[in-house]
Structure 1
Amino acid sequence: MTLSRIDDFPPQHPAWELLTGATPFQASSIDQRFSFTTYIPSAYRHSAAPLPLLVAVHGTGRRPEAVRDRFVRFAEEQGVVVLVPLFPIGIDEPDDVDNYKNLSYGGTRFDEVLLGMIADAAERWRIECERFLLAGFSGGGQFAHRFAYLHPERLRAVSIGAPGRVTLPDAEPWPHGIGDVHDVFGRDADLDALTRIPHQIIVGGEDDARETLAIVASDAREARAGVTRVERAHTLARELTSHGVPVEMVVVPGVAHDADAMSAPVIDFLSRALAQPIAI
């Protein structure tokens, strides 16, 4: 399927009104069960160069428009395109809410779906997408740090917000660790490449809602990272740092599980990462 490029339309064509600013959801060309929305900043009309890309991943509640709108000011100030995927509940099982978080579920590779969406966006708009910024909160934070293990060569920086469960860079099986990642995904986790990718791990200081006690009590692989999101964020930061990965650990005082309340330090991190040369 060939997508219409916005640059092929004359400046006053209605397509420019529809396909800049906050755009409608567009079905993925590789799997139409999934879709994405974008924010195309006003700088797009005035720049002939491709614009950098931020991919922001929603949490379990799946509010992609709210995620997109959280980054509108950043997009306008920095001239960045924002892309937000929608991974619906019930893709392979009717009540499954966690499908995308581990990247692979029921035969669907969610990392590949996202990369397909980025390719679709690059057909329609001028986007610098070989390397992009990645951010996610809660379930999106789970997706983001696991995506980084598999695809560091595609990233400029990654912000990992308050993940409820974490994958540590050790020999435990996926998704607890990366010991069998080649068996699961057909590719290795490249920890050396991760050492060139700035990471932010951010969590609210009051985000102490405990995971289901039955899970923590019955699975030592879950419990070893800690019980609260704060503990798990610190464990992930410590373990990544031990492998040479550059991590900024941020605890926002007085904040619980609230993406809006943590958006300022996330945007600050992304802005600083955008100003740095792209790692090779």
Structure 2
Amino acid sequence: MSEADKPSNPAQEKAQALYDLGSTTVYASTHDPRFPYALYVPPEVLTPGNDVELVVVMHGTGRQFTQYRDAFAPFGRWNRCIVLCPLFPVGVRGDGDRNGFKRLIEGDIRYDKVLLDMVDEVAGRYGKRFDKFALFGYSGGGQYVNRFAYAHPERLWAASIGAPGNVTVLDHKKDWWLGLGGFERHFGKPFDLAALQRVPVQMIVGRADLETWEITVPEDSPMYLPGINDAGATRPERLRTLKASFEAAGIRVRFDELANIAHNGMQVVEVVQDFLVQALRTLRAGG
């Protein structure tokens, strides 16, 4: 933390401990106050020369961002990680759309850039630089991670894609957002396969996650694109299709299909954290 931000009196010190360390209050992004976030911040962040890293946990359609923060708080404490949990509310553009953040681009909103601004803001508040961070998301959050990993692989030291309802396969013959066709037109830069090949990737889903009512897109839906349902009928089938496209491009994937788990993000947290611990160990060893 910079000298200007250090508490100068007991009241300020108490406020910092209460609101800015541990499980924090909810902040509005200074770059775009429509988008708030909550944090877990380990006490080691106040130690000069600390090796605190950043883990971002993206909510799904239910927007359970504080629940995910609480689920990851012990991980952050014992592994010296700040945990950043953004909130991308429903209907930011006044249209009631629940799904825009999942595809990174919604009208003039770039949700990938919103997150990168939050990362910079958190780094500045605690006197850190997070050139790379880990990113986990489940359900709608899994869709976000899938696409963010294409857009900014150079910013990730790990990516965990949990049970996405719709996937973007690594296929340049399919138009964005079913595939990577037109990627440079949308993001202003070419897709960097070599960077993504260096990112440890986990894909995780429950073996009993078989309901299709939310993920099968009918032709009269505003979300419909030709081929949108071709990756498979269920989430496990669609995630296996995504895995195959990654592996065909030379990207190694840890694939966790958990027995007796339906569609419940909180029930996969422990396995995701195991993956992150391994990636963090490699990162801190200079790998």
Normalised by the size of structure 2, how large is the TM-score?
0.91
**Structure-to-structure mapping, 1:1-280, within 5 angstroms:** 7-10=5-8, 12=10, 13-17=13-17, 18-46=19-47, 48-170=49-171, 171-210=173-212, 211-212=215-216, 214-215=218-219, 219-277=225-283
- 1:175 and 1:277, CA in 2 relative to 1: closer, same or farther beyond 3 A? same
Shift of 1:49: 2.1
Q: Is the 8 A contact 1:156 1:197 kept in 2?
A: yes
Shift of 1:223: 2.2
Partner AA of 1:197 in structure 2: V
- d(CA) in 2 for partners of 1:253 and 1:11? 53
The superposition leaves residues 173-206 of structure 1 with CA deviations (integer Å, 9 ceiling, x where unpaired) of: 1110011011112122211211100100000000
Higher alpha-carbon deviation: 49-58 or 146-155: 49-58
Shift of 1:31: 1.0
Normalised by the size of structure 1, how large is the TM-score?
0.93
SS in 2 for 1:23: strand
- d(CA) in 2 for partners of 1:4 and 1:85? 24
In angstroms, what is the RMSD of aligned CA positions? 2.2
The superposition leaves residues 82-136 of structure 1 with CA deviations (integer Å, 9 ceiling, x where unpaired) of: 0011101111143100010000001100000000001110111133410111100
- 1:235 and 1:215, CA in 2 relative to 1: closer, same or farther beyond 3 A? farther
- d(CA) in 2 for partners of 1:22 and 1:121? 14
Q: Is the 8 A contact 1:20 1:39 kept in 2?
A: yes
SS in 2 for 1:172: coil
Runs of 4+ in 1 over 6 A off after TM superposition: 3-6
Shift of 1:6: 7.9
SS in 1 for 2:166: coil
Shift of 1:215: 4.9
Partner AA of 1:212 in structure 2: T
Partner AA of 1:32 in structure 2: P
Q: Is the 8 A contact 1:50 1:126 kept in 2?
A: no
Shift of 1:10: 4.5
- d(CA) in 2 for partners of 1:5 and 1:145? 38
- 1:90 and 1:4, CA in 2 relative to 1: closer, same or farther beyond 3 A? farther
Shift of 1:16: 2.3
Shift of 1:212: 2.9
SS in 2 for 1:96: coil
- d(CA) in 1 for partners of 2:3 and 2:198? 33
Shift of 1:227: 1.2
Q: Is the 8 A contact 1:56 1:83 kept in 2?
A: yes
- d(CA) in 2 for partners of 1:82 and 1:166? 25
Partner AA of 1:37 in structure 2: A
- d(CA) in 1 for partners of 2:138 and 2:197? 22
Shift of 1:44: 2.5
Shift of 1:162: 0.3
The superposition leaves residues 201-254 of structure 1 with CA deviations (integer Å, 9 ceiling, x where unpaired) of: 000000011123625997542222111001001000111011011111110001
- d(CA) in 2 for partners of 1:10 and 1:84? 29
SS in 1 for 2:132: strand
Aligned length: 278
- Structure 1 unaligned spans of 5+: none
